[in-house]
Amino acid sequence: MFDFEEERLRQEIVKLGAKRVLIQLPEGLKGEAPRLAKVIEKAGALPIVSADPCYGACDLATSEAESLGADLIVHYGHAKLLKYERVPTIYIEARATISVAEAVEKALPLMANWHKIGLATTVQHVQTLDEAREMLIRTGKTVMVGDAGRLNYPGQVIGCDYSNAKSIAEYVEGFLFVGGGRFHALGLTLTTFKSTVVADPYEKRAYPIDGEAQRVQKQRWACIQEAQKAKTFAVLVGLKPGQKRLEEALNIREKLERAGKDAYIFAVREITPETIMNFPTVDAYINTACPRVSLDASSKFSKPMLTMSEALVVAGEISWSELCKRGFF
Ligand code: SF4
């Protein structure tokens, strides 16, 4: 279902003369690790598979590669995100090879009342946006694809960056998200506040995501209210290369202290209940690392886990309705 670009991988390894290669795969593609390791071995390098979780290109395993003496990282499933890499890195985006036509066709009746539609997708399907656009235009729709210039491709979204979609949100009545799962579509709705229909090419079906977005919004309000009662806060700074926001964390800490709260900076690599909930004297957490942990896994944490934007409500800097206008992250 995905293009792993084995031939390009082989050529790059030979061209770079790499001798030790660290392979990073997202969770859904980890099953391919032995096969890809074999390709690397045949190209003349020692493959080492990173078994750690990897959810985005923000999590490039630079320190791990350095400590293992790897001279190349091969990062699968995400487009380049960091501006600079300390260790040479090849990104293999793992573009999907399945057709999106059937799912888009099924989405059409769900968008019957919309005239102007925005398109969004993940890097796996950016090559299908032209086909989706043509299908919508044939039914008389006006179609827009945002290109705010922050991500690699027009129309592309990642879990924490919807700038392409946001750049056109005011001109469209809703979005068609082409891709699998609910994660990105949910983020799209929670940042643009526009209705979103998902065309899922893996399940060959289409469905609206708005009801789920409303449920998440209610959960967030409950979390913020609970955090408002908290006295002691831990402001989490991520240790992954693309998640380290120490300045922002210090800024949030200052705002919380001005609002009469105690706040401390905690450094963390993986934000999980097991690592974070071992501090009984902390009442609530502000997550400056991956904002989606707060939104998508909030029920796993026994204490409030707020995003940076939500922390501004607790600190009295913005209101709940302002937060709902600017987005949750
Ligand atoms: S910070 Fe989170 S949502 Fe953003 S790219 Fe990394 S893992 Fe994905």
Q: Assign residue 120 the CATH number of its domain.
A: 3.40.50.11850
Identify the domain containing residue 295 by its residue range: 216-326
Looking at the structure, tell me whether residues 225 and 181 fall in a common domain: no
How far is residue 103's CA from residue 101's CA, in Å, rounded to a whole number? 6
Neighbours of 159 (CB within 10 A): 20
How far is residue 37's CA from residue 24's CA, in Å, rounded to a whole number? 11
- Of 94, 111, 144, the position where a domain reaches its end is 94
* Overall size of the chain counted in residues: 329
Looking at the structure, tell me whether residues 112 and 66 fall in a common domain: no
Proportion of the chain above pLDDT 70, given as a percent = 100
Looking at the structure, tell me whether residues 175 and 126 fall in a common domain: yes
Looking at the structure, tell me whether residues 238 and 178 fall in a common domain: no
Residue 298 has a pLDDT of 86
> Which of 24, 60, 290, 308 has the most ligand 1 atoms within 8 A of CB, as the residue to mutate?
290
Asked whether the beta carbons of 248 and 270 are under 8 A apart, the reply is: no
Looking at the structure, tell me whether residues 201 and 155 fall in a common domain: yes
pLDDT tier for residue 121 given thresholds of 50, 70 and 90: very high
Residue 327 has a pLDDT of 87
Whether 74 lines ligand 1, by a CB cut-off of 6 Å, is: no
Looking at the structure, tell me whether residues 79 and 35 fall in a common domain: yes
Asked whether the beta carbons of 189 and 209 are under 8 A apart, the reply is: yes
Looking at the structure, tell me whether residues 129 and 27 fall in a common domain: no
Looking at the structure, tell me whether residues 150 and 188 fall in a common domain: yes
How far is residue 286's CA from residue 307's CA, in Å, rounded to a whole number? 6
Q: How far is the CA of 227 from the centre of ligand 1 (A)?
A: 24
Proportion of the chain above pLDDT 90, given as a percent = 96
Whether 77 lines ligand 1, by a CB cut-off of 6 Å, is: no
Looking at the structure, tell me whether residues 173 and 137 fall in a common domain: yes
- Of 94, 114, 133, the position where a domain reaches its end is 94
Q: Assign residue 309 the CATH number of its domain.
A: 3.40.50.11860
Q: Atom 2 (ligand 1): residue with closest C-alpha?
A: 290
For 66-117, the three-class secondary structure string (H helix, E strand, C coil) is: HHHCCCEEEEECCCCCCCCCCCCEEEECCEECCCCHHHHHHHHHHHCCCCEE
pLDDT tier for residue 297 given thresholds of 50, 70 and 90: confident
pLDDT tier for residue 82 given thresholds of 50, 70 and 90: very high
pTM (2 d.p.): 0.95
What's the rounded mean pLDDT across residues 39-65? 97
- Of 72, 94, 116, the position where a domain reaches its end is 94
Q: Assign residue 76 the CATH number of its domain.
A: 3.40.50.11840
Residue 202 makes CB contacts below 8 A (sequence gap 6+) with 1, 98, 180
Residue 88 has pLDDT above 90, yes or no: yes
For the chain, the three-class secondary structure string (H helix, E strand, C coil) is: CEECCHHHHHHHHHHHCCCEEEEECCHHHHHHHHHHHHHHHHCCCEEEECCCCCCCHHHCCHHHHHHHCCCEEEEECCCCCCCCCCCCEEEECCEECCCCHHHHHHHHHHHCCCCEEEEEECHHHHHHHHHHHHHHHHCCCEEEECCCCCCCCCCECECCECHHHHCCHHHCCEEEEECCCCHHHHHHHHHHCCEEEEEECCCCEEEECHHHHHHHHHHHHHHHHHHHCCCEEEEEEECCHHHCCHHHHHHHHHHHHHCCCEEEEEEECCCCHHHHCCCCCCCEEEECCCHHHHHHCHHHCCCCEEEHHHHHHHCCCCCHHHHHHHCCC
Please count the structural domains in the chain: 3
Whether 133 lines ligand 1, by a CB cut-off of 6 Å, is: no
Least confident of 58-67, 68-77, 263-272, 296-305: 296-305
Looking at the structure, tell me whether residues 186 and 280 fall in a common domain: no
Looking at the structure, tell me whether residues 64 and 154 fall in a common domain: no
Looking at the structure, tell me whether residues 113 and 169 fall in a common domain: yes
Whether 56 lines ligand 1, by a CB cut-off of 6 Å, is: yes
Q: What are 171-230's pLDDT values in tens digits?
A: 999 999 999 999 999 999 999 999 999 999 999 999 999 999 999 999 999 999 999 999
Q: What are 132-175's pLDDT values in tens digits?
A: 999 999 999 999 999 999 999 999 999 999 999 999 999 999 99
